[in-house]
């Protein structure tokens, strides 16, 4: 599809940033964004000219001279603060430097904010050790931020996806529910834009699954077919998904607490604007005040046009899970399989211990049983 009507300039900024990433497959990116190679290279060329407003459809004033008077410098700092009321001195200084201004020390910027009454005392969480994966797309973190009510009393459920390595916000969607089909629709759109990750970290509970005993859902089976591992965080340990939780706090402070949003359309428009700022303009303290886009590149694994089916080895004993109940028949006995695999083809393979068998969906073991105990039904 061509450029979407909403936030077209933001899409161009994101497209060019991804085109510039090291090792980018530019032809594949043009396909994912739904533009011709000619159009893609046109915007890449315009961005290379260095104009701040290169992504706009009409020409605008050139960027102001970096040689400013003290009063003009203070005005630039205050304008940036007013645009982003939660940003501190270091973020503002870095952003204005990226715009080509000669900036004083962060302490001077802080003094300007204090002098003009723009500083809000920060509330800092206790420091803890950070861990991040060494490259983009090895792990995404996905969750729903706490719902909030719109003026018409409908609930809005923000769905968020963040790349673990770069903190790049891949999806920020205003949803009307938290159902698995809704998540899958937005995952599919995100996969078509950015490619497939190796794994996704999620919470426990609907629509992700309920931990080891009932860990599989239809959504998880769909991801398994795509070769995407679904990982569950430790129960009652939100710090396991720390980057996503931190993203939620920033979203609340910089968007939800700053605007009165009356409809899903207004919420989504605000989300689209802010996601572009967050990825491409907002300096991130955990990244050394770089922006997330500086560390992100799309996955080389493209979303397939047809959902793959699991492959099995010659000699595997194959069974089809019941369409209404999660059982298969093996040697005259019914064996339990997670309900999410109803209607799917599975294989029964012997395990190392005598009499123990595993039930596999492709290469993944999803259940096990012991022939010596006819009553045993064990899920893994």
CA distances from 60 to 32, 44, 56, 136 (A): 29, 18, 8, 35
Structure tokens at 319: 């069974």
Q: Who has greater pLDDT, 10 or 358?
A: 358
Burial (CB count <10 Å: 0-12, 13-18, 19+), residue 368: buried
Q: How confident is the model at residue 209 (pLDDT cuts 50, 70, 90)?
A: low
How does pLDDT run across 301-317, given as a tens digit for each residue?
999 999 999 999 888 89
Residue 160 has pLDDT above 90, yes or no: yes
- Selected residue with higher pLDDT from 376 and 256: 256
Q: Given pLDDT bands bounded at 50, 70 and 90, which one contains residue 40?
A: confident
Burial tier of 354 (Cβ tally within 10 Å: 0-12, 13-18, 19+): exposed
pLDDT at 192 over 50: yes
Answer yes or no: is pLDDT of 367 > 70: yes
pTM score:
0.72
pLDDT confidence of residue 283? 87
Phi, psi (degrees; rounded to nearest 5) at 229: -70, 140
- Would you say residue 63 has pLDDT above 50? no
Q: Are 168 and 293 in contact (CB under 8 A)?
A: yes
Select the more confidently predicted residue: 76 or 7. Answer: 76
pLDDT over threshold 90, residue 266? yes
DSSP-derived secondary structure letter, 233? P
Q: Inform me whether the pLDDT recorded for 208 exceeds 80.
A: no
pLDDT attached to residue 235:
54
Question: Once rounded to an integer, what is the mean pLDDT over residues 208-218?
Answer: 65
Give the separation between CA 17 and CA 13, rounded to whole angstroms: 6
- Given a cut of 80, whether residue 50 has pLDDT beyond it is no
What is the Cα–Cα distance from 369 to 316, expressed in whole angstroms? 16
Query: What's the pLDDT score for residue 280?
Result: 93
User: Which of 3-12, 85-94, 190-199, 318-327 has the lowest average pLDDT?
Assistant: 3-12
């Amino acid at each position: 599809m061509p450029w979407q009507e909403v936030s077209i300039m933001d899409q161009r900024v994101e497209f060019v940033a991804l085109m510039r990433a090291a090792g980018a497959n530019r032809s594949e990116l043009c396909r994912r964004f739904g533009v011709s190679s000619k159009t893609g290279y046109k915007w890449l060329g315009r961005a290379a000219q260095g104009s701040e407003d290169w992504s706009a459809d009409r020409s605008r004033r050139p960027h102001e001279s970096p040689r400013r008077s003290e009063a003009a410098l203070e005005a630039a700092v205050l304008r940036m603060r007013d645009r982003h009321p939660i940003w501190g001195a270091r973020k503002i200084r870095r952003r204005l430097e990226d715009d080509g201004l000669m900036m004083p020390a962060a302490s001077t910027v802080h003094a300007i904010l204090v002098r003009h009454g723009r500083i809000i005392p920060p509330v800092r969480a206790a420091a803890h050790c950070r861990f991040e994966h060494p490259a983009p797309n090895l792990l995404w973190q996905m969750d729903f931020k706490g719902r909030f009510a719109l003026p018409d009393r409908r609930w809005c459920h923000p769905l968020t996806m963040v790349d673990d390595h770069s903190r790049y916000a891949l999806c920020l969607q205003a949803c009307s529910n938290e159902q698995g089909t809704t998540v899958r629709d937005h995952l599919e759109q995100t996969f078509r834009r950015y490619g497939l990750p190796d794994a996704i970290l999620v919470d426990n509970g609907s629509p992700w699954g309920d931990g080891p005993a009932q860990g599989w859902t239809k959504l998880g089976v769909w991801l398994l077919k795509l070769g995407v591992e679904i990982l569950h965080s430790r129960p009652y340990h939100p710090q396991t998904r720390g980057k996503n939780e931190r993203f939620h706090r920033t979203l609340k402070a910089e968007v939800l607490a700053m605007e009165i949003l009356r409809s899903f359309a207004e919420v989504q428009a605000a989300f689209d604007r802010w996601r572009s700022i967050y990825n491409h303009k907002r300096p991130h303290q955990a990244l050394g005040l770089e922006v997330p886009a500086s560390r992100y590149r799309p996955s080389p694994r493209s979303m397939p046009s047809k959902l793959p089916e699991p492959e099995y080895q010659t000699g595997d004993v194959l069974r089809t899970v019941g369409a209404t109940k999660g059982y298969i028949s093996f040697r005259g006995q019914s064996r339990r399989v997670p309900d999410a695999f109803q209607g799917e083809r599975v294989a029964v393979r012997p395990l190392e211990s005598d009499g123990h068998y595993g039930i596999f969906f492709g290469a993944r073991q999803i259940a096990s049983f012991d022939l010596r105990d006819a009553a045993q039904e064990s899920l893994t």
